[in-house]
Amino acid sequence: MRKILQRPGGLLSASPVYSAKQIKSALRCVTDNQCQVANPQYPYMLADLYNLYSDQSRIELARRNGLFGTVGDTAPGKFGDCDFNSAYQLVEPRDAAKGNVARAIFYMHAEYGLPMVGQVQMFQQWNLLDPVDDEELARNDRIESIQGNRNRFIDDLTLAEQLKP
């Protein structure tokens, strides 16, 4: 069940970075039951807090089936009030969120053995462009207290450089 909250500027929802569709594709399953049989960790992948960020519902809907990538300044953003570009099923978050996206992708890859959804080198650049800030560190601490594990890519930025394209 998707939790939706109202705030000025629109509805917020818990938005996965590594989408359910991408997880199903990686596991080569169609239904939730098939996925759980294929990999008993499937429900944990969907509910992992390191993969979920609050997002405006209209943005989450626009990027739900897209891949993260570099769209560039020439592509018009669909959302004038948000620093977000999208073109042809490719979405580019604002610079201040790129590292967070990269570290979530790295985490899902390392934690669950999921393939990288996008270009490893691009995500490594995003990791350096947007280093971990105090808010992300505090989020890592809060999630650890709930989930019992940490995102090691938040704790050590150099781990991302060890990932092979």
Model-level pTM? 0.81
Any residues with CB less than 8 A from the CB of 8 and at least 6 apart, and which? none
Concatenating the DSSP letter of every residue in 83-99 gives S-EEETTEEE--HHHHH
Rg (CA), the chain: 16
Cα(22)–Cα(65) distance, integer angstroms: 8
Ordered per-residue pLDDT tens for the chain, 165 residues: 444 444 445 566 677 889 899 999 999 999 999 999 999 999 999 999 999 987 544 455 555 666 777 776 655 555 444 445 555 567 778 888 899 999 999 999 999 999 998 899 999 999 999 999 999 999 999 999 999 999 999 999 999 999 987
1's tokens: 């069940």
155's tokens: 């704790």
